[in-house]
Homo-oligomer: A and B are copies of this chain.
């Protein structure tokens, strides 16, 4: 056992969750590290090493109990109890995220959606009424908000992030194509859709000159 889990391990934990969810749907009760490795596009040694950072999960000669492992991963990731999410920006992207079915399934609940555009405020998206962004602090004071998702245009992203921090929210998922600055006690991740396309473009440029392989 060990306490300090590598950042890379945490990023893989999510893949394992996906794989385990799939196995559970297929009524598989036990899986070996080799099984999990194949499905999660890694290898058996990596799987075992990753789990070993958090304790002994498996039975030797048998493998891992799918349901037990899922529960353990949820505990590690802190999603055993529901996490609350607010979405800021009720444009196309924000609306799409508000209705994304994957959130509920994995323990995240969208509790509010905000926008600054008076034409949108008061309208309904996926069962949520669009609130003015100025209400953010009030909403955050009334209930615990775990994560804020920023889905506003690039130009507004930093200002919105500042308001989020001001409201006492400690984690931000940013979809605007700009790196936002936050205090060290706030977690922030930026999802760069364009970056993914550019990476693929690089892959294409490489494999056009000389045949090469690649897998995500």
Residues of A within 8 A of B (CB): 10-11, 13-15, 17-18, 22, 39-41, 76-79, 83, 85, 91-93, 95-97, 99-103, 106-108, 146-147, 153-154, 170-173, 177-179, 182, 184-185, 187-205, 207, 211, 213-216
Q: Which residue of B lies closest to A191 (CB)?
A: B196
Counting every copy of the chain, the complex holds 2
Contact of A213 among B22, B83, B184, B216 (CB under 8 A): B184
Q: Chain B CB within 10 Å — which of A22, A76, A96, A101 has the most?
A: A96
Contact of A201 among B18, B78, B182, B204 (CB under 8 A): B78
Q: How far is the CB of A95 from chain B (nearest CB, A)?
A: 6
A173 to B195, CA, bound (A): 11
Q: Is A207 a contact of B170 with CB atoms below 8 Å?
A: yes
Task: Give every chain B residue within 8 A of A41 (Cβ-Cβ).
Answer: 179
Q: Is B77 a contact of A194 with CB atoms below 8 Å?
A: no
